[in-house]
């Protein structure tokens, strides 16, 4: 549940990905760079096919944003961050599902849709120990750090890819 402007609780519609969502989800992804990586529409379709993808929608079922989660061990997904979570899972013996990306259309921001997407993921993956994600340190993404911390995520690591230009913080949220 997420709050509405008048303080009452309203259910935010979240459903699984449908092929017809792709053009709008690609636009949401592009509007979210550099918080997420830039992708062509074909690349994004490939990553969505490898993931569980939740889509937040408006009253007309029009997509407003999405969240993708990828299983550790998905070798078709060439992500250093996913590899980091695979090592983390081995090191901690925690079962983890990895959040690859969350992206919203600009007009959908500030409406608690990110919370609704994560709520769907928390419920869907309730059999896991943790859900993990990374948030940019460089380029800075302070809003995403605050958002994830507010949802209960705790930082468990950092990694620098390109000194001074690309680094991330790794977060997990306990599901049990």
In tens, the pLDDT along 70-102 reads 999 999 999 999 999 999 999 999 999 999 999
Displacement of CA 70 from its chain's centroid (Å): 10
Q: Which residue do the tokens 């402007």 mark?
A: 5
Q: Which domains does the chain have, with CATH numbers?
A: 2-174 (3.40.630.30)
Distance CA 80, CA 73 (A): 12
103 pairs with which residues across the strands?
66
Contact 10, 1 (CB under 8 A): yes
Over residues 13-23, the mean pLDDT reads 97
* pTM of the predicted structure, to 2 decimals: 0.89
| Residue 96: both structure tokens together | 């983890």
- Specify burial of residue 13 (Cβ count, 10 A radius: 0-12, 13-18, 19+): middle
Distance CA 72, CA 160 (A): 21
pLDDT category of residue 103 using cuts at 50, 70 and 90: very high
pLDDT category of residue 35 using cuts at 50, 70 and 90: confident
98 pairs with which residues across the strands?
70, 132
Contact 134, 169 (CB under 8 A): yes
């Amino acid at each position: 549940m997420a709050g509405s402007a008048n303080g009452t609780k309203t259910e935010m519609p979240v459903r699984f990905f449908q092929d017809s969502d792709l053009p709008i989800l690609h636009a949401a992804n592009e509007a979210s760079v550099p918080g997420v990586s830039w992708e062509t529409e074909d690349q994004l379709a490939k990553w969505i096919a490898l993931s569980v993808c939740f889509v937040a929608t408006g009253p007309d079922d029009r997509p407003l944003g999405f969240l993708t989660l990828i299983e550790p061990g998905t070798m078709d997904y060439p992500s250093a961050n996913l590899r980091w979570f695979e090592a983390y899972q081995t090191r901690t013996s925690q079962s983890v599902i990895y959040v690859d990306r969350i992206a919203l259309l600009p007009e959908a921001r500030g409406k608690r849709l990110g919370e609704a997407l994560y709520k769907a993921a928390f419920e869907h993956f309730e059999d896991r120990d943790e859900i993990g994600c990374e948030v940019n340190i460089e380029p800075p993404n302070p809003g995403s750090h605050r958002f994830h911390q507010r949802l209960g995520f705790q930082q468990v690591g950092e990694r620098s890819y390109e000194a001074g230009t690309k680094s991330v913080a790794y977060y997990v949220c306990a599901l049990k």
